[in-house]
Chain A
Amino acid sequence: MKIEGEVRIPSGCAISAVISKEGKKMTGESIIKSMVPMHDRSNGLGGGFAAYGIYPEYKEFYAFHIFYNDNDSRVECEKLLKDRFEIVKAENIPIKKIKEITDVPLIWRYFVAPLASILSRLQLDEKEYVARTVMHINTNLKGAYVFSSGKNMGTFKAVGFPEDVGRFYRLDEYEAYSWTAHGRYPTNTPGWWGGAHPFALLDYSIVHNGEISSYDANRRYIEMFGYKCMLKTDTEVITYIADYLLRKQKLTLEETASVIAAPFWSTIQNKGPKEAEKLSFLRKIYPSLLITGPFSIILGFEGGLMALNDRLKLRSMVIGEKDDKVFIASEEAAIRVMEPNAKNIYAPSGGEPVIVKVKEGAF
Chain B
Amino acid sequence: MEKTIEINAKELNFKDLNNKIREYEKNGTVKITDLTGQRFIASGMNNKKIELNGIPGNALGAYLTGAEITVNGNAQDAVGDTMNAGKIIIHGNIGDAAGYAMRGGEIYVKGDAGYRAGIHMKEYKEKKPVIIIGGKTGSFLGEYQAGGLIIVLGLTKNDKPLVGNFSSTGMHGGKLILRGKAENIKFPGQTTKRKATKEDLDEIKPYISNFCKYFNFNEKEMLSEEYTVITPNSANPYKQMYIAN
Residues of A within 8 A of B (CB): 36-38, 40, 264, 267, 270, 312-313, 316, 318, 331-334, 336-337, 345-347, 349-350
Contact = CB atoms under 8 A, between A and B. Distances in A.
Contacts of B165: 264, 267
10 contacts: A38-B37, A313-B138, A316-B76, A331-B57, A331-B77, A333-B35, A345-B74, A347-B95, A350-B138, A350-B139
Interface string B123-141: 0000000000000001110
A346 B138 CA distance: 12
B191 to A, nearest CB: 16
Given A316-B95, A331-B76, A332-B55, A350 B115 contact: yes
B103 interface: no
Interface SS of chain A: helix, strand, loop or mixed? mixed
Nearest to B116: A313
A345 B76 contact: no
A196 to B, nearest CB: 22
Contacts of B14: 40
B118 interface: no
Find the residue from A38, A333, A336 having the highest chain B CB count within 10 A.
A333
B74 A313 contact: no
Interface residues of B, number: 24
A229 to B, nearest CB: 30
A345 B57 contact: no
Contact of B39 (A40, A270, A336): A40
Interface string B157-201: 000000011000000000000000000001000000000000000
Contacts of B80: none
A152 B77 CA distance: 36
A267 B76 CA distance: 27
B58 interface: yes
A333 B95 CA distance: 12
Interface string B56-71: 0110000000000000
Contacts of A333: 35-37, 55, 57, 76
Contacts of B36: 36-37, 333, 336-337
B57 A37 contact: yes
CB-based closest 10 A-B pairs = A333-B37, A37-B37, A333-B55, A37-B36, A313-B115, A333-B36, A316-B77, A332-B55, A347-B114, A336-B55
A336 B53 CA distance: 12
Nearest to B14: A40
Contacts of B164: 349
B44 interface: no
